[in-house]
């Protein structure tokens, strides 16, 4: 390994270590049982997407003959082999954890019943369910060794079957696609608690019904993952909407990049399926338990088992937003910073809904990357347009796995007379911004929302994000320039305060890092503290290494991928990296540069990755309001005091749990942040109770 290669971790293997940290939460006995199951199911969903996108991309590069190594020195072939080996260990950990959780669930009254454990009355009910709900719906398909193999949906559950005709005429193969529409399990009567039978077990129990006069030798669940990294050639796309729909169709037929099959499969059936699906052996997984652990997520919401979940932390109302006043009156007086999910997302929804209903609002312009299925924000935009307001929505059709939903929004919004822009050619519009233009007595006033997360009120309850609402004139002008540039396909005239990718954000970040480096070289205090989801960009990493070598203290909170190697003497010994995985998904991007004591604080929609800085439309927003800045610094500092859920990245790529000093109180950052918000609300309520407000006579001043 060369000296330059030793400076970087491989991106894909770093991501797998992130998924391992999520998996570790499922094995933490201090976490409530159903929450542990939830973490386990999330790791399965994460791994599905990883294979469909990242492994799919590497497989394409390999097929095209690409041999160039990544910054860590690994070729596509080496990466695929390393991924397969690391994933195999992870799958072993997943199913060891599942067996333990399944046993504890049984003890707690949630029991998965195997076919051989069914009592007579349960068996009779299972047969009735099969005859009425399963047999009429699912149809077996013969698998011809020489014919065309059926097109299977990525991630769907199937049963591979080997049967033998009466008289021993030889074995043949068939399959029963179970798809995604049918429930994965069926409730069966139990003396106490909750009992269920898995769909594949129910079908296997009655598989002979499909094959009269033949012997069913094996009935084995399997599923595949298809390559979803199919990109649109926008330079050749005459109609982006139609071409995106074609991409979605092609994705359904992408090459198979992974085969998962029940451990008890025979060599004959396994070889047949793997061969017909053309899956490399390194990505064929014999699974020692139920396939698709994400399908168990609904179990985490079973009623009557609240003791097995976290205590609720309901979002608190923001003290800075008066519920009795217009949101525009509030923002005319002050900037508002919201920390979700500890503070409610309601003011953001209200901001857009009030704009839709306000007769003085002239226009609304908003980016939409991902939102909820029945979004009140999308409904408000449609309502605003129907009321004659000028409404523009930049809908990103290329938001992976949300393309179909975004196409549906786009069409619905266009039918409501919203001007829909399908992002920027060659880029993804990932910035989170909404601008409202309002006619007021003193003239035209702009109000703006910037966010680190999506306009999705559902995920705002489980993602940790920042919202910033302001009537700042310069930020409003910059937001207008941003929308004008995207909608008019032109270069922005220049921002007063904002920085945007792919135009100037990279240069701004490098400038801020280099400024700290130069200050330290001049003997001044210098420090960088940042929180984001991923750190991959080699140029940014090299700048951080140079800052560390100059003596700049750098603290990074990187939830997921981190290709930087911290703690290497002479290179990165001034850099520390921690990652926090807890009940809420850490998603906010917060940056702090000491800047000679004149703290520069930013929020952003962008991670420090080439895709964000070079191939996406992103925003970097300075927070200059003293109260908002102080609050962000408090939030940021809280994460670095975590001694319960934080793990430190070591120079060799392993993560080690952070432990507090003996005798000092422990800190769980998310719990502390929740408590801070609740304390603010409680103190405000107490203060309000001590204020005497007299009743006034009607008509009095």
Q: Could you give the CA distance from residue 358 to residue 55 in angstroms, rounded to a whole number?
A: 49
- Predicted confidence (pLDDT) per residue in 266-296, tens digit: 999 999 999 999 998 999 999 999 999 999 9
Residue 32 has pLDDT above 90, yes or no: yes
Q: What does R_g of the chain's alpha carbons equal in angstroms?
A: 28
Q: Could you give the CA distance from residue 195 to residue 246 in angstroms, rounded to a whole number?
A: 43
pLDDT score recorded for residue 405: 67
- Predicted confidence (pLDDT) per residue in 55-83, tens digit: 988 888 888 898 999 999 999 999 999 99
Q: Could you give the CA distance from residue 411 to residue 100 in angstroms, rounded to a whole number?
A: 47
Region of poorest pLDDT, from 1-15, 53-67, 283-297, 439-453: 1-15
Half-sphere exposure of 295 (CA within 13 A, CB side): 19
Q: Catalytic annotation on 430? A: yes
Nearest to 394 by CA among 450, 358, 361, 433: 433
Average pLDDT over residues 200-218: 93
Task: With beta carbons less than 8 A apart as the criterion, state whether 366 and 434 touch.
Answer: yes
Q: Could you give the CA distance from residue 27 to residue 389 in angstroms, rounded to a whole number?
A: 53
Average pLDDT over residues 128-144: 91
Q: What separation, in Å, do the N-terminal and C-terminal C-alpha atoms of the chain show?
A: 80
User: What are the extents of the domains in the chain?
Assistant: 5-308, 327-497, 501-682
Q: Could you give the CA distance from residue 4 to residue 487 in angstroms, rounded to a whole number?
A: 42
Domain 501-682: CATH class, spelled out = alpha beta
- Predicted confidence (pLDDT) per residue in 39-54, tens digit: 999 999 999 999 988 9
What single string gives the DSSP state of each residue in 580-607?
E-SSSEE--EEEEE-GGGS-EEEEES--
- H-helix or E-strand spanning residue 439: strand 433-440
Task: With beta carbons less than 8 A apart as the criterion, state whether 646 and 475 touch.
Answer: no
Task: With beta carbons less than 8 A apart as the criterion, state whether 35 and 310 touch.
Answer: yes
pLDDT score recorded for residue 425: 75
Identify the residue with better confidence: 394 or 605: 605
Q: Which of 206, 283, 339, 430 is catalytic?
A: 430
- Predicted confidence (pLDDT) per residue in 157-180, tens digit: 999 999 998 776 788 999 999 987
Whether 501-682 and 327-497 are alike in CATH topology: the answer is yes
Angle, nearest 10°, between helix axes 403-415 and 240-251? Answer: 150
Res. 320 pLDDT band, cuts 50 70 90: very high
Q: Could you confirm whether domain 327-497 is CATH 3.10.300.10?
A: no
Q: Which two tokens stand for residue 494?
A: 């220049």
Residue 241 has pLDDT above 50, yes or no: no
Record the pTM: 0.91
**Residue 550 class from Cβ within 10 Å (0-12 exposed, 13-18 middle, 19+ buried)?**
middle
Region of poorest pLDDT, from 138-152, 397-411, 536-550, 593-607: 397-411
Residue 615 has pLDDT above 50, yes or no: yes
Residue 251 has pLDDT above 60, yes or no: no
Residue 564 has pLDDT above 50, yes or no: yes
Cα angle 28, 575, 25; round to 5: 10
Whole-number average pLDDT of the chain: 90
- Predicted confidence (pLDDT) per residue in 329-357, tens digit: 999 999 999 999 999 999 999 999 999 99
For residue 641, the SS3 value is coil
Q: Could you give the CA distance from residue 427 to residue 429 in angstroms, rounded to a whole number?
A: 6
For residue 187, the SS3 value is strand
Q: Which fold has domain 5-308?
A: polyphosphate kinase like (3.30.1840)
Nearest to 562 by CA among 543, 582, 578, 581: 578
Residues 6+ apart with CB under 8 A from 656: 647, 648, 650
């Amino acid at each position: 390994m060369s000296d330059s290669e030793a400076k970087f971790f491989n991106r894909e293997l770093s991501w797998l270590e992130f998924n391992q940290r999520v998996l570790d939460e499922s094995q933490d006995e201090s976490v409530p049982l159903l929450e542990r199951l939830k973490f386990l199911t999330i790791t399965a969903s994460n791994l599905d997407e990883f294979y469909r996108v990242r492994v799919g991309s590497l497989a394409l590069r390999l097929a095209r003959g690409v041999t160039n190594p990544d910054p860590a020195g690994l070729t596509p072939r080496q990466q695929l082999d390393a991924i397969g080996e690391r994933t195999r260990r992870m799958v072993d950990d997943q199913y060891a954890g599942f067996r333990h959780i399944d046993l504890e669930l049984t003890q707690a009254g949630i029991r998965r019943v195997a076919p051989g454990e069914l009592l007579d009355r349960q068996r009779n009910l299972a047969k009735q369910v099969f005859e009425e709900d399963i047999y009429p719906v699912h149809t077996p398909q013969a698998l011809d060794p020489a014919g065309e193999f059926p097109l299977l949906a990525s991630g769907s559950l199937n049963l591979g079957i080997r049967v033998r005709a009466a008289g021993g005429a030889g074995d043949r193969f068939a399959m029963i696609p179970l798809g995604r529409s049918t429930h994965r399990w069926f409730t069966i009567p139990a003396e106490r608690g909750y009992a269920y039978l898995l769909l594949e077990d129910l079908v296997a129990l009655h598989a002979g019904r499909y094959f009269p006069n033949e012997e069913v030798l094996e009935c084995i669940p399997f599923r595949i993952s298809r390559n979803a990294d199919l990109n649109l050639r926008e330079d050749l796309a005459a109609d982006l909407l139609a071409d995106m729909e074609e991409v979605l169709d092609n994705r359904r037929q992408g090459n198979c990049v992974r085969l998962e099959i029940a451990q008890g499969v025979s060599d004959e059936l396994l070889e047949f399926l793997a061969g017909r699906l053309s899956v490399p052996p390194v990505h064929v997984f014999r699974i020692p338990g139920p396939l698709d652990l994400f399908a168990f997520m609904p179990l985490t919401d079973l009623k009557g088992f609240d003791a097995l979940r976290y205590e609720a932390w309901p979002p608190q109302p923001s003290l800075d937003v008066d519920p009795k006043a217009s949101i525009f009156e509030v923002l005319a007086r002050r900037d508002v910073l919201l920390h979700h999910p500890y503070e409610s997302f309601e003011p953001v929804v209200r901001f857009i809904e009030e704009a839709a209903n306000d007769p003085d609002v002239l226009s609304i312009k908003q980016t939409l990357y991902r939102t909820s299925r029945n979004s009140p924000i999308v409904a408000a935009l449609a309502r605003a347009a129907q009321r004659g307001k000028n409404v523009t929505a930049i809908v990103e059709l290329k938001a992976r796995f949300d393309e179909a939903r975004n196409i549906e929004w786009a069409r619905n919004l266009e039918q409501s007379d919203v001007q829909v822009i399908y992002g920027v050619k060659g880029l993804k519009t990932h910035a989170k911004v909404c601008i409202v233009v309002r006619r007021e007595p003193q003239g035209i006033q702009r109000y703006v929302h910037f966010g680190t997360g999506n306009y999705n009120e559902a995920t705002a309850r489980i993602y940790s994000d920042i919202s910033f609402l302001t009537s700042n004139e310069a930020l409003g002008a910059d937001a207008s320039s941003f929308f004008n540039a995207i909608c008019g396909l032109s270069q922005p005239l220049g921002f007063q305060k904002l920085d945007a990718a792919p135009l100037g954000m990279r240069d701004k970040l490098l400038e801020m890092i280099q400024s700290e480096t130069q200050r330290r070289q001049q003997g001044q205090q210098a420090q960088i503290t940042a929180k984001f989801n991923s750190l991959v960009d080699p140029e940014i990493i090299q700048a951080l290494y140079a800052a560390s070598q100059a003596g700049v203290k750098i603290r990074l909170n990187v939830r997921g991928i981190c290709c930087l190697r911290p703690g290497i003497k002479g290179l990165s010994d001034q850099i520390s990296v921690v990652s926090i995985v807890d009940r809420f998904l850490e998603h906010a991007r917060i940056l702090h540069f000491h800047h000679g004591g004149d703290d520069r604080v930013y929020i952003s929609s962008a991670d420090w990755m080439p895709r964000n800085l070079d191939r996406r439309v992103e925003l970097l927003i300075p927070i200059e309001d003293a109260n908002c800045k102080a609050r962000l610094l408090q939030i940021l500092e809280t994460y670095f005091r975590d001694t319960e859920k934080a793990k430190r990245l070591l120079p060799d790529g392993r993560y080690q749990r952070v432990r507090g000093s003996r005798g000092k109180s422990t800190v769980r950052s998310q719990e502390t942040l929740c408590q801070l918000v609740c304390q603010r609300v409680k103190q405000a309520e107490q203060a309000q109770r001590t204020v005497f407000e007299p009743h006034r006579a009607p008509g009095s001043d």
